[in-house]
Amino acid sequence: MVDTLTEIRHEYAVKTMNVVKEYIMGKQTLRALKGVSIEIRAGEYISIMGPSGSGKSTLFNMIGGLDKPSSGKVYIDEVDISGLDAFELAWLRCRKIGYIFQTFNLIPVMTALENVTLPMIFAGMTTQDALDKGAELLSLVGLGDRIRHKPLELSGGQQQRVACARALANDPAIILADEPTGNLDLKTGHEIIELLRHLNKEKGVTIISATHDLKMLDASDRIIWIRDGLVDKIEARADLDIGVGTLQGEEV
Amino acid sequence: MTSDAMTRAGIQRQIKLPNSEAVKIAVRSIKIRFWRSLITTAGIVLAIAFLTYVMVSGAIQTFVIPEDAIEPVGLTAQQQATRIWLIAISLLVCVVGISNAMLMSVTERYREIGTMKCLGALDWFVVKLFLIEAAFQGLIGSAVGALTGFIAAILVGLTAHGLLLFPSMPWGRAFSHVLIALVVGCLLAVVGAVYPARRAGKMPPADAMRTEI
């Protein structure tokens, strides 16, 4: 799977500089992010931890180019994304970044396979190639026999697997996962984490995952703690000392 | 400056959504939401049936020669005025009913739109998908509506004139009314969808996905 994305890989997959995000709610201004600067290297598995309302989902949206910061800069592969126009931003979302959401966000009217092929169609792939690759990706996530099922005919864990396959559709350099295990039970959550870890190791995809699931920590290389819209601390996994399960990543 | 240009070279521009794919997605979306789209389409059917009926029965009244006459009696000034009123009201029903149906069918899918934008859809991909969908619904709805209205007008004409309706029936004019009603229906469906689709297309994906209806 050698392609242009790997050729132009830079040291930092994501860099933010002093990102501030303010929401105006009536007369009040809510500062969700108060100046966040982080650097994420290509190929890292990063967890962004923090309590609800800490600003981690907002940060996730900033990194993914899903929303614009009020001030500060976000670099994806050393490109300042505030300078991109709508066409370039769409290209970035389509090719460079794969998204996984807490609520899966599959398109309910499409089958698993159609959901996975949609980003490829947006990327200009021919239908047959897209179908082939979609089927391949779905078997990679263990749903090879379910490709014709609609999201509502699948369990939560299966839906999230479809979302993982969809995120991989255009061989992104980065996968952004916003609480991917938030709506899943322990076991399925565990499976999704293993899947992400596997993709990270095998394909070298940078994984950035906002979470408050402690299981995720074991899998990650570094943990960025966010509190009240600021980076609280950044820890490497080696420095962690929490007894949650086994180190899932080690089996690979 | 040059380094900026160089790094930006890695980013390309997103442009594609083949028409065939867009049509496929739109058709599937109508089919799968069959009952929901049936309600939307029913609104169009009713409005267009009303419009067609008013226009065609007007033509029958104007041109069909009654049993005891040699030439059509035509409409009195008052009947003419009433007829114009009815057409105006039925058009109003079309505009309000159809645009409301379109508005609802777009706003209830904000999350889906946000998701599509995350996957790399441009604003106009979204607009295109919704407009194709609206055009299909408009076409189907107005075809059924126009047919219903036409048949109703003929039946009413038959009760008034009996079989004498057919020799002097202004077929050409009636068909042109049906055609007008068809065009009006399609046009209103598409126009009614433009505003909500554009608004949805322009939303930042994060906002679109946060929206709860």
Highest mean pLDDT among B13-17, B37-41, B186-190: B186-190
Chain A hits for B4, Cβ within 8 Å: 83
On whether any CB of chain A is under 8 Å from the CB of B118, the answer is: yes
What tens digit of pLDDT does each residue of A138-148 get?
998 889 899 99
Chain A hits for B129, Cβ within 8 Å: none
On whether any CB of chain A is under 8 Å from the CB of B18, the answer is: yes
- DSSP per-residue string spanning A141-209: TT-TT-TT--GGGS-HHHHHHHHHHHHTTT--SEEEEESTTTTS-HHHHHHHHHHHHHHHHHH--EEEE
pLDDT at position B15 is 67
On whether any CB of chain B is under 8 Å from the CB of A188, the answer is: no
Compare CB distances from B21 to A64, A101, A121 and report the shortest one's residue: A121
On whether any CB of chain B is under 8 Å from the CB of A15, the answer is: no
The residue that leads in pLDDT, A5 or B58, is B58
Of A192-196, A237-241, A243-247, minimum mean pLDDT range:
A243-247
pLDDT at position B183 is 92
> Which ipTM value was assigned to this complex?
0.80
Mutation for testing the B interface, residue in A105, A149, A168 having most B CBs under 10 Å: A105
Q: Which residue has the tokens 């242009």?
A: A4
Phi, psi (rounded to 5 degrees) for B18: -60, 140
3 state DSSP class of A249: helix
On whether any CB of chain B is under 8 Å from the CB of A8, the answer is: yes
pLDDT at position A174 is 92
Tokens of residue B176, six digits: 């042109």
Compare CB distances from B10 to A8, A61, A85 and report the shortest one's residue: A8
Highest mean pLDDT among A81-95, B13-27, B158-172, B198-212: A81-95
pLDDT at position B212 is 58
pLDDT at position A247 is 45
Question: Are A34 and A125 contacting, i.e. CB atoms less than 8 angstroms apart?
Answer: no
On whether any CB of chain A is under 8 Å from the CB of B125, the answer is: yes
Q: Which residue has the tokens 């008034």?
A: B160
Contact B204 A68 (CB under 8 A): yes
On whether any CB of chain B is under 8 Å from the CB of A56, the answer is: no
Q: CA A114, CA A107: separation in Å to the nearest integer?
A: 9
What tens digit of pLDDT does each residue of B69-88 get?
777 777 788 888 888 888 88
The residue that leads in pLDDT, A242 or B38, is B38
Chain B hits for A151, Cβ within 8 Å: none
pLDDT at position B7 is 46
On whether any CB of chain B is under 8 Å from the CB of A24, the answer is: no
Compare CB distances from A66 to B7, B13, B205 and report the shortest one's residue: B205
Contact A64 B118 (CB under 8 A): yes
Average per-residue pLDDT in chain A? 85
CB pairs under 8 A between A and B: 98
Q: Which CATH architecture has domain A43-67+85-251?
A: 3-Layer(aba) Sandwich (3.40)
pLDDT at position B211 is 67
pLDDT at position A10 is 66
On whether any CB of chain B is under 8 Å from the CB of A66, the answer is: yes
Average per-residue pLDDT in chain B? 81
3 state DSSP class of A132: helix
Question: Are A224 and A234 contacting, i.e. CB atoms less than 8 angstroms apart?
Answer: yes
Compare CB distances from A109 to B8, B14, B33 and report the shortest one's residue: B33
On whether any CB of chain A is under 8 Å from the CB of B89, the answer is: no
Q: Which residue has the tokens 């000392």?
A: A241
For residue A9, what is the nearest residue in chain B, using CA coordinates?
A: B10
Q: Containing H/E element for A98?
A: strand A97-100
Length of chain A: 252
3 state DSSP class of A67: coil
What tens digit of pLDDT does each residue of A116-157 get?
999 998 888 888 999 999 999 999 888 989 999 999 999 998
Contact B32 A109 (CB under 8 A): yes
- How would you class B130 by CB atoms within 10 Å of its CB: exposed for 0-12, middle for 13-18, buried for 19 or more? buried
Phi, psi (rounded to 5 degrees) for A97: -125, 135
pLDDT at position B14 is 66
Tokens of residue B35, six digits: 């009952």
pLDDT at position B171 is 87
